[in-house]
Structure 1
Amino acid sequence: MTLLPSVAIFLGATLIAVPLFKKFKLGAILGYLVAGVLIGPSGLNLITDIETILHFSELGVVLLLFVIGLELEPSTLWRMRNQIIVSGGSQLLVTALVLALISHFLLGLPIASSVTIGLALALSSTAFAIQLMNEQRILNTPPGQQGFSMLLMQDVAVIPILLIVGSFSTFETDAGVAWYISLGAVVAVLIAGKFLVNPVLRIVANYGSSEVMTAAALFLVLVTALAMSSAGLSMGMGAFLAGILLANSSFKHQLEVEIEPFKGLLLGLFFIAIGMNLNLSLLIDKPIFIVSMSLLLVLIKAGIISSILLLNKQNLKDASRVGLLLSQGGEFAFVVMTLALSSLVLTPDIAAQVNLVVGISMAVTSPLVILHAQFFSTKNCPAVYESESVSHQPQVIIAGFGRFGQITARVLAANSIPFTALDKDAEHIEFVRKFGNKVFFGDASRLDMLEKAGIADARILLVAIDEPEQTLNIIKLVKQHYPKVNIVARARNRNHAEDIGKLGLDDFVREMFDGGLVACEHVLKSIGYSNGQAKKMTVIFAEHDAKMLEDAIKSDMNMETRLSSIKQGREELQQLFVKDSESS
């Protein structure tokens, strides 16, 4: 089958399955898996080239890990080192040991086969678990971060696991690459991220279009992932490392926005491919055995992970929820099974059964998480960390970080009020960041960009950009999607102020008006007027001008009416000055 019909089938299956499963609150991931089963060889057999699709769809996992890396600054990762080593390491070792013992003593498999299965099934699905944690809004909580540290440890352990499985082979395999090559690849990525990536992105931002920035983001991820893969490390770890290196970059939000659509589609394709990969004929032949093994896997992993979190002083609800979220088998189990088959460590029948157990464990995770939530809601047992986030969103977002926006930013910074600023001038951003300001490259007229900057949790948006039309677009966008956010806008001139006012925004500042009044007051005093007279004259003018502006905002004037209004206003102002002069 050619590419376009396959794409049409994938999209059609997604359009039907995912909304249906989300309607019944079973989650999008389970919808993808079922869609894959239906269109795959075990279902309608609409698509048969599963292996190629699975390899291509792994890019979704790569992009996911890159975005996660962008959210983790190196300092944050360093603070998590104990969780990664202790919690992640203990989960991996204990789970692998328990599953290997069950495989050897309960199922009667040889030691090499048992260890291989134990190591493969100890790995959870990074893409699956993180997607579920995002849906549950637990990823950025302390228990969610502990679960994430376990996933990180598992990703790091993939290469050693492949080396161990390869060592069980009776003949030589290419299970791994020399350690110094892998180390050299890591060092090369670190150097490139430190000295090359940001300068290149600045050039793209200054001279390229938004499409070129998208291409640059994808190129960065793919090159890093492929380089790490060639050096014997996982593509996902390479992308994750690249993301961490850019976590402090001014381009992080823009990169997230550009990659997000590709990440979502490819992750969906990945889960569909996993569903297609499941051999349901084995389930028909051995239904009790396969289902019981799948449930046993989920229960063992959930129990071990929950126990580790309880020992780390998490409450029962959060510990058991994270345990369930990480209880499924992972996508790397398919990689381990492929190597075990080529190394003659496992028979095709056993490898196929393990793959099916992994797929079913993924399928049952979402319903079990739903049952868990219902159980604890009836017990009236709220999670301690339900709303406590590890990251702190800004109270203020400043769109445009030129001289106008910087005045507010400096006052906020001096009073320790958190803010995030967005600007489209890459060189300008780099200069400002040298002074410790948190400024990111990005177009504030894009809703996804504002959302990455934290508009959902912000109290105030200051629109301080130069372009009048773009200012109006941002105001409309935020008032439509986030009406509770207070907006303060910069008006370039009187006409722009009228346009802003007609959008229902009262809080705007005419950038030249106040400065012009102050200059006028100085001129009047230099002519010979007293301080009080000069002040009064400017106040009269300001009040009259404000009234005229208010009338213009409330009415819908054509050009002829506007000119007539201006003439009438000038006459009224002259009368006010004459009246004030006669009374003084």
Structure 2
Amino acid sequence: MHEGTLVFSFFLIFTGAALFATIALFTRQPLLIAYIVLGAVIGPFGTGWIETSESISQISQIGIIFLLFLIGLDMQPVNLLHTLRKAVIVALASSIIFAACGFAATYAFGFSTTESLIVGLAMMFSSTIIGIKLLPTTVLHHRHTGELMVGLLLLQDMIAIIVLLGLGGVSKGNQDVFDYLVTLISLPLLIAGAWLIVRFIFLPLLQKFDRFQEYIFLLSIGWCLGLASASEAVGLSSEIGAFVAGVSIASSPISLYIASSLKPLRDFFLILFFFSIGASFDFSLLSDVMIPAMTLALLYLGLKPVAFRLLLGKQSENSKLAWDVGFRLGQNSEFSILIAYIATSSLLIGEKASLLIQATAIITFALSSYIVIFNFPNPIAVKESLRRD
């Protein structure tokens, strides 16, 4: 970071975010794009006012954790299980289609078989943070569209974790079956442990001290971050742990209060997240992969809506809902960038292939946000007729 303090870095980020957001609103641009552009401008590859984005990126991950926790708070376990059963076929089939198309397109541009395979794997996933951020709260919490999107994104997270484990095994020269088995049994054990703690510790404490709002706030944050850390420790993602933490107390009457009290904290960290995306990419190198990156980005922005429309249609979902979900999940995922980092550090792919994955992800983040914000109901729409909180 800049040689100044963390406080000074936050001053640059949030003052800059306010300035760029003002410009974005006047010019009718998405706020998410403003934060990414800010990162590119004042980050290490721009003016260098903030010399490294690593610390900011680590802090910003808390925003994703809180986001998944809040989603879980409003999803009843019975409804969630029903949605996951319905989404599993769509998640698996779409992942295979996206991986195959990514492999074929990348190989056609002259990349090696291994690089094409890893690029294809990186293209399988959609962004949890953007998909859910641009979904109206009323749709997310009270309609089938929200439940279906969350189910698909959670299943994609599980697939992504398996891919990351596989890449880690290859980089070490072996694939430890034990690691996969631990991951498979960790989720049910995590859910069971969460249920026991909530029933015998968490809820009794809330009932005893429910008059102290500060205590409820602290206990909720501790529970969210604690289960997120436990999930990460057993080989799952912190996001999955946070979601389980939310679902585990969704039936409690206090869940609505917890959700409303944590929203400002979530937004604080999400601004840091989008800033870190822009700050972590060297846009000066974009020319090296511009043509294949734009080709892949446009391919997936068109392919994903069609694929989800067809797959969800076979699951008896109506056409309007299927198109809606498909366009909202048209972008690549944060996991894509993580796959690029791990594969590069393991010498499985070259710098150009890594840049291709990162550039495609950022381009789809931007273009998908424009598509949703200007055409579908969302909380930050520039058109009054589409704005839904």
Is 1:109 aligned to 2:111, yes or no?
A: yes
Aligned to 1:93: 96
Aligned to 1:301: 304
Aligned to 1:195: 200
- Aligned 1:360-375 pairs, distance under 5 A: 360-370=363-373, 372=375
Aligned to 1:119: 121
For residue 47 of structure 2, give the secondary structure of its aligned residue in structure 1: coil
Matching residue's letter, 1:162: L
Aligned to 2:130: 128
Is 1:171 aligned to 2:176, yes or no?
A: no
Q: Distance in 2 between matches of 1:239 and 1:324?
A: 26
Aligned to 1:38: 41
> Please, which moves more after superposition, 308-317 or 49-58?
308-317
Question: Which string of whole-angstrom CA distances, capped at 9 and with x for unpartnered residues, describes residues 218-238 of structure 1?
Answer: 111111101111111100000
Residues 336, 358 of structure 2: 8 Å contact kept: yes
Which of residues 141, 144, 147 is equivalent to 1:145?
147
Aligned to 1:499: none
Cα gap change, 1:191/1:249 in structure 2, threshold over 3 Å: closer, same or farther? same
Q: Distance in 2 between matches of 1:318 and 1:239?
A: 27
Which of residues 259, 265, 285 is equivalent to 1:256?
259
| Structure 1 residue ranges without an equivalent (≥5) | 375-386, 388-455, 457-584
Shift of 1:64: 0.4
For residue 333 of structure 2, give the secondary structure of its aligned residue in structure 1: coil
Which of residues 344, 351, 366 is equivalent to 1:341?
344
Q: TM-score, normalised by structure 1?
A: 0.59
Shift of 1:169: 2.9
Aligned to 1:12: 15
> Please, which moves more after superposition, 242-251 or 178-187?
178-187
Shift of 1:303: 2.5
Aligned to 1:509: none
Q: Distance in 1 between matches of 2:290 and 2:119?
A: 20
Cα gap change, 1:109/1:286 in structure 2, threshold over 3 Å: closer, same or farther? closer
Matching residue's letter, 1:150: L
For residue 136 of structure 2, give the secondary structure of its aligned residue in structure 1: helix
Q: Distance in 2 between matches of 1:283 and 1:231?
A: 37
For residue 256 of structure 1, give the secondary structure of its aligned residue in structure 2: helix
Question: Which string of whole-angstrom CA distances, capped at 9 and with x for unpartnered residues, describes residues 235-268 of structure 1?
Answer: 0000001111111012201211221111111111
Q: Distance in 1 between matches of 2:143 and 2:26?
A: 27
Q: Distance in 1 between matches of 2:121 and 2:259?
A: 33
Q: Distance in 1 between matches of 2:177 and 2:340?
A: 13
Residues 162, 180 of structure 2: 8 Å contact kept: no
- Aligned 1:221-260 pairs, distance under 5 A: 221-260=224-263
Matching residue's letter, 2:149: G
Aligned to 2:384: none
Q: Distance in 2 between matches of 1:37 and 1:135?
A: 30
Shift of 1:334: 2.0
Residues 163, 176 of structure 1: 8 Å contact kept: no
Q: Distance in 2 between matches of 1:177 and 1:200?
A: 36
Cα gap change, 1:180/1:170 in structure 2, threshold over 3 Å: closer, same or farther? closer
Matching residue's letter, 1:87: V
Residues 134, 373 of structure 2: 8 Å contact kept: no
Q: TM-score, normalised by structure 2?
A: 0.87
Cα gap change, 1:215/1:123 in structure 2, threshold over 3 Å: closer, same or farther? same
Residues 63, 267 of structure 2: 8 Å contact kept: yes
Aligned to 1:287: 290
Residues 344, 350 of structure 2: 8 Å contact kept: yes
For residue 171 of structure 1, give the secondary structure of its aligned residue in structure 2: coil
Question: Which string of whole-angstrom CA distances, capped at 9 and with x for unpartnered residues, describes residues 20-66 of structure 1?
Answer: 32444432222222222222123222212212211110110111001
Residues 53, 279 of structure 2: 8 Å contact kept: yes
Residues 44, 52 of structure 2: 8 Å contact kept: no
Residues 159, 176 of structure 1: 8 Å contact kept: no
Aligned to 1:353: 356
Aligned to 1:269: 272
Aligned to 1:80: 83
Q: Distance in 2 between matches of 1:255 and 1:371?
A: 31
Aligned to 2:383: none
Cα gap change, 1:267/1:103 in structure 2, threshold over 3 Å: closer, same or farther? same
For residue 108 of structure 1, give the secondary structure of its aligned residue in structure 2: coil
Q: Distance in 2 between matches of 1:288 and 1:178?
A: 37
Shift of 1:172: 5.1
Matching residue's letter, 1:64: L
Residues 279, 356 of structure 1: 8 Å contact kept: no
Q: Distance in 2 between matches of 1:176 and 1:26?
A: 48
Cα gap change, 1:370/1:176 in structure 2, threshold over 3 Å: closer, same or farther? farther
Larger of the two Rg values belongs to structure? 1
Aligned to 1:446: none
Shift of 1:170: 5.8
Aligned to 2:70: 67
Aligned-residue CA RMSD (Å): 2.9
State how many pairs are aligned.
376
Residues 84, 152 of structure 1: 8 Å contact kept: no
Residues 68, 239 of structure 2: 8 Å contact kept: yes
Residues 88, 152 of structure 1: 8 Å contact kept: no
Cα gap change, 1:287/1:120 in structure 2, threshold over 3 Å: closer, same or farther? closer
Residues 26, 366 of structure 1: 8 Å contact kept: no
> Please, which moves more after superposition, 294-303 or 233-242?
294-303
Aligned to 1:57: 60
Cα gap change, 1:34/1:317 in structure 2, threshold over 3 Å: closer, same or farther? farther
Q: Distance in 1 between matches of 2:281 and 2:177?
A: 25
Cα gap change, 1:12/1:93 in structure 2, threshold over 3 Å: closer, same or farther? same
Aligned to 1:582: none
Aligned to 1:205: 210
> Please, which moves more after superposition, 52-61 or 338-347?
338-347
Shift of 1:282: 1.9
| Structure 2 residue ranges without an equivalent (≥5) | 378-387
Residues 91, 150 of structure 1: 8 Å contact kept: no
Q: Distance in 2 between matches of 1:170 and 1:109?
A: 23
Aligned to 1:411: none
Q: Distance in 2 between matches of 1:165 and 1:53?
A: 26
Shift of 1:195: 2.3
Q: Counting helix residues as a fraction of each chain, which structure ranks higher?
A: 2
Residues 306, 323 of structure 1: 8 Å contact kept: yes
Aligned to 1:28: 31
